[in-house]
Amino acid sequence: MKLINVTNTHRAMVQNQLDHTDSTLVEVFSAGNSTVIYEEAPYHNEILIVNNTRNIRNEEVDEILEFFVKRMEEGSFDKDFIDMIHMTGLVEITIPKH
């Protein structure tokens, strides 16, 4: 699966998130029919995966999580405390920081 950074096409949403949450970074990616929103905040990182046409497969979640974990500073989080919420067409992943 290839993630394509499409943040520039979602400027209003990104600015709204930066203005109204504790996020310091917001990026939007396209993964085929899925949209991935990645946010960094002082005490946690969030990954939101949305697909309006079908449910998100576990393999997709694993690949996307691996992509973002590789970008994070090693030792800045504990994999045992990653929290995932699965809903129809939506997965929210919270990664607390130390």
pLDDT tens-digit readout, 43-56: 999 999 999 999 99
pLDDT of amino acid 52: 95
pLDDT of amino acid 91: 98
Distance from chain centroid for Cα 14: 13
Choose among 98, 92, 62: nearest CA to 77: 98
Regions of the chain where pLDDT drops below 70:
none
Of how many residues is the chain composed? 98
Strands (E), 1-98: 4-5, 25-31, 34-40, 44-50, 83-87, 90-96
pLDDT of amino acid 88: 95
Q: Where are the domains of the chain?
A: 4-96
User: At the topology level of CATH, where does 4-96 sit?
Assistant: Streptococcus thermophilus LMG 18311 protein like (3.40.1720)
